[in-house]
A and B are shown apart, each in its own frame.
Chain A
Amino acid sequence: MKIAVCVKHVPEGHARIDPGSKRLDRSGEGALNHFDANAVEEALRLKGDGEGEVVVLSMGPEKAADSLRKALAMGADRAVLVSDEAAAGADLLATSRVLAAALEREGADLVLFGQQAEDADGAVLWAAVAERLRRPVVSQAAEVTLADGSVRVKRQTEYGYDVIEASLPAVLAVSDAINEPRYPSLKGIMGAKKKPFETLSLADLGVDAGAAGEAGSKTEVLGLGDPPARADARKIEGDANAAQAIVDFLAEKRLV
């Protein structure tokens, strides 16, 4: 049983947009996206003490190795970093191409994603990747159980939950309600260094530079617009009519 987990190294601390590139300034320190930590944790639980393998993958700059090592410290068995200058500035489409290529190479039975990225750059990636891999996808997984040749997922929706059975190989996105990620133990942190760590370029994956990164992106950032103003912000005194004024305001906004 091989489980692959896609993780992202996200900027930490005071996030800023770089006025030059108009993209998130990733030059500072970063950390493992905490939603991906849930995915790593779930993979480790599904593997349990069994014979399987948990491999963590990331597409990013060299620093992304830190997040992969954190996942190794948690207990993942192997890490793969796709790091290539041509892969920088990738949008969802270009990222999904590269990740799909890396995942094809792995041939995992189950691919896990975290439900969201803290920097809101990687959301919905799993469905695009699943489409390229031509595998069933289930998101918002709040509970996952493996059966023979299939996976059973409790998916949280706006209306309640669905229980979905998908045949393996499959792609899942886990919600952060699914588990509490473990702290890496000291032995885990120290052992992480000895675990296999591969760094691949786009060429290693057989992905053309034009299909990745900014070149392969079909969307672009045009600029920073004005901050979303709260138009018509009002402030009133809390006199005897205040409660009615609030009700009127809510009605006007069609909230009641």
Chain B
Amino acid sequence: MSILVFLEHHGDELQKGSLGVLAKAASLGDADAVLVGGGVTALAAEAGTYGAKKVHVADDASLDPPLPQPRVDVIAKVVADGGYDAVLFANSVLAADVAAGVAARLDAGLNWDLVDLTSDFVGKRPALQDSVLVDVGWKSSPRVGLFRAGSFDAVPTGGGAPQVENVAFELEEHSRAAKIVDQQLEESSGPSIEDAEIVVGGGRGLGAPENFSLAEELARVLGGAVGATRAVVDAGWYPYSAQIGQTGKTVSPKLYVALGISGAIQHKVGMQSSNVIVAINKDPNAPIFEFSDLGVVGDVHEIVPKLTELLQQRRDA
């Protein structure tokens, strides 16, 4: 299987998510990478560490803005010229649009929201709010796959320097019809709940509205956002904008820490697709323990301050 992986970058760094997909691809077959942007050639070498044998580079000032369609033009050419069996992407705002555009351009099948891929190219995809895993396949080549963010760890495979090849590309007319006229990079005043990679949720087990400071402090030291259950929002302890659940927001962060949350299904459906769930609750029979990765039966008021302190020390070290 020859696989082409789209490597995304931001500033001077290659995106960990796409490096993870690259490492996975290298374990499945021959993996090459494609890198598109302005002044990105220097980043190509790193791709070898994660398993890329060859990196196709399209390096041009016109490709610097993170717009999807020029990337579709580049990748389509590379795939056609290189005869790749599969093109894989790690999800991001940009990559999603690129993957779909590539699929349409090449008239290729696209499976997205994948969390895994077997050696015989069966994709695994969660469905129904992550309660089931569906096996999906492709009927023809090339196979375009879009993986959920964070599906694979970016583990170096110990590969050497890759072959770097410049891509002679041409942009389609419609790929030149959009321009970035302004960019604002947001300084973290804390991420929004939906975008946060880490969310700390507070429930009735916190005991009183003042105790939400426990959740806030923990979120601050973890660099995450604070969410709340419907029960505490109903009781006026926290604003509705922070409500997570069936009638609130749905989140799927890398880490969800549930403080004093029982895990009623109305809340569960709003956060069950979180990668890792840690729950602290006094009640050993709380339903949340049935779907958390680490369940701690204990008092949040004792455990959380200590946890926050330890994490702070770790950060300072």
Q: Do chains A and B touch in the complex (CB under 8 A)?
A: yes
Name A's B-contacting residues (CB within 8 A). 15-17, 22, 24, 91-93, 96, 120, 123-132, 134-140, 152, 155-167, 170, 217-228, 230, 232-239, 242-247, 249-250, 253-256
Contact with A along B162-203 (1 / 0, CB 8 A): 000000000011110111111111100000000100100000
The range of chain B's interface size is 35 or more
A225 to B132, CA, bound (A): 7
Q: Is the CB of A247 within 8 A of B110?
A: no
A205 to B292, CA, bound (A): 50
Partner of A124, one of B97, B138, B296, B302: B97
Determine the chain B residues whose CB is within 8 A of the CB of A134 once the complex forms.
172-174
Known: A159-B185, A162-B183, A255-B254. 20 other contacts (CB 8 A): A24-B127, A92-B103, A93-B108, A120-B113, A127-B96, A129-B104, A131-B100, A131-B101, A160-B183, A160-B185, A161-B184, A218-B138, A221-B136, A222-B122, A224-B134, A227-B131, A227-B133, A233-B295, A246-B307, A250-B255
Determine the chain A residues whose CB is within 8 A of the CB of B110 once the complex forms.
91-93, 124, 128, 219
A162 to B64, CA, bound (A): 13
Residue of A nearest to B278 (CB): A246
Residue among B108, B134, B302 with the highest chain A CB neighbour number at 10 A: B134
A129 to B133, CA, bound (A): 27
Question: Known contacts A123-B112, A136-B178; is A225 also within 8 Å of B137 by CB?
Answer: no
A-B contact pairs, 23 of them (CB 8 A): A15-B128, A17-B132, A91-B110, A96-B100, A120-B113, A124-B96, A124-B110, A127-B96, A128-B100, A135-B174, A136-B174, A137-B68, A162-B66, A163-B181, A164-B67, A217-B139, A218-B140, A220-B136, A233-B294, A235-B294, A242-B296, A247-B307, A255-B255
Residue of A nearest to B186 (CB): A160
Q: Is the CB of B135 within 8 A of A223?
A: yes
A249 to B307, CA, bound (A): 12
Question: Known contacts A162-B66, A242-B303; is A235 also within 8 Å of B177 by CB?
Answer: no
Determine the chain B residues whose CB is within 8 A of the CB of A128 once the complex forms.
100-101, 103-104, 110
Residue of A nearest to B10 (CB): A159
Residue of A nearest to B307 (CB): A243
Partner of A127, one of B101, B113, B181, B277: B101
Q: How far is the CB of A88 from chain B (nearest CB, A)?
A: 17
Question: Known contacts A139-B93, A157-B94, A255-B255; is A238 also within 8 Å of B297 by CB?
Answer: yes
Determine the chain A residues whose CB is within 8 A of the CB of B297 once the complex forms.
235-238
A220 to B122, CA, bound (A): 10
Question: Is B242 part of the contact surface with A, judged by Cβ < 8 Å?
Answer: no
Contact with A along B286-317 (1 / 0, CB 8 A): 00010111111111001100110111001000
